[in-house]
Amino acid sequence: MALFGKPKYTVVHIKKKDIPGGLWTKCEECSAPLYNKQLQENLKVCPKCNYHFTLNCFERIDSLVDKGSFKEFDEDLTAVDPLGFKGPKTYVDKLKQDQESTGLKEAVVTGLGKINDKKCAIAVTDSRFIMGSMGSVVGEKITRIIERATKEKFPVIIVSGSGGGARMYEGMFSLMQMAKTSAALARHHENHLLYISVLTNPTMAGVMASFAGLGDIIIAEPKALIGFTGPRVIEQTIRQKLPPDFQRSEFLLKHGLIDIITPRKDLKTVIFNLIDYLS
């Protein structure tokens, strides 16, 4: 009887190349598969565990300023090689490689924009370019936008995401940018103007020890790694086990280093409210 006969199946062969690639991303925190379109709509924040993926500088700017309001300055400034640095790659080769891969001339984008119609000066570092580290051009661009804001009496917003700190390829020239940016912010402060520093994952070393740590208000994204030297180096130096959340935003908020932890989707609103209240 047909009821007990051998069942017939239709075998469908699916070739791997017929399945579009690049549609999903695995969360680095909880390993959940995330549909890329939904991830982008959620500002690259995992809806499962709230892990904040890295944003590039233009994604960050788009998430903060009013559409079409951002005007970039000093976009053609590029670094030179003052030390003739040589290693596995020369400094010139490293600059060229990151310029080609990111489309940027340097690790920071600066300009003027509006946040809910409030004018402000904005600088955003990009960790894709030599880990967002600060060389002469980064320091110069940040100093120039601060000085422009001081002259025109605008608040300053700097979003930092640097795992590289001061750029070793430029030696002392890089370290000088810590003092230069800090001096520009001191003059801005003397004119009773607002500076809001936003720290993202990671913000470390010379960047954290200079302009990133000098905000009138310091905001951090959740679980961002923030400090000078990384926890592994500290443990090896002091030979003690550090707390599990050491140097994360939540730990630093408890100990008074930062003022607010703000999820990415609320950041624009929080910054606007601060500007509206404090300016």
Please give the average per-residue pLDDT across 214-243, as a whole number. Answer: 86
Please give the average per-residue pLDDT across 57-74, as a whole number. Answer: 93
Q: What's the pLDDT tens digit per position in 27-40?
A: 888 888 888 888 88
Burial letters 239-258, b for 16+ CB under 10 A, else e: eeeeeeeebbbebbeeeebb
Say which residue, 185 or 240, is predicted with more confidence.
185
What rounded mean pLDDT belongs to the chain? 88
Give CA–CA dist 279/147, Å, rounded.
Answer: 17
pLDDT higher than threshold 90 for residue 199: yes
Residue 153's pLDDT band (cuts 50, 70, 90): very high
Residue 19's pLDDT band (cuts 50, 70, 90): very low
* Structure letter (DSSP) for residue 170: G
What per-residue confidence (pLDDT) applies to 12? 58
Is the link from the previous residue into 7 a cis peptide, with omega within 30 of 0? no
Which of 46-55, 179-188, 229-238 is modeled with the greatest confidence?
A: 179-188
Please give the average per-residue pLDDT across 55-82, as a whole number. Answer: 92
pTM, two decimal places: 0.85
Which residue intervals of the chain bear CATH 3.90.226.10?
Answer: 54-278
Please give the average per-residue pLDDT across 53-61, as a whole number. Answer: 89
Say which residue, 54 or 64, is predicted with more confidence.
64
Looking at domain 54-278, its CATH architecture is Alpha-Beta Complex (3.90)
Can you name the residues that pair with 247 across neighbouring β-strands? none
What is the radius of gyration, based on Cα positions, of the chain? Answer: 23
- Which residues make Cβ contacts (< 8 Å) with residue 93, sequence separation at least 6? none
Nearest CA-CA partner of 113 in 53, 60, 181, 41? 60
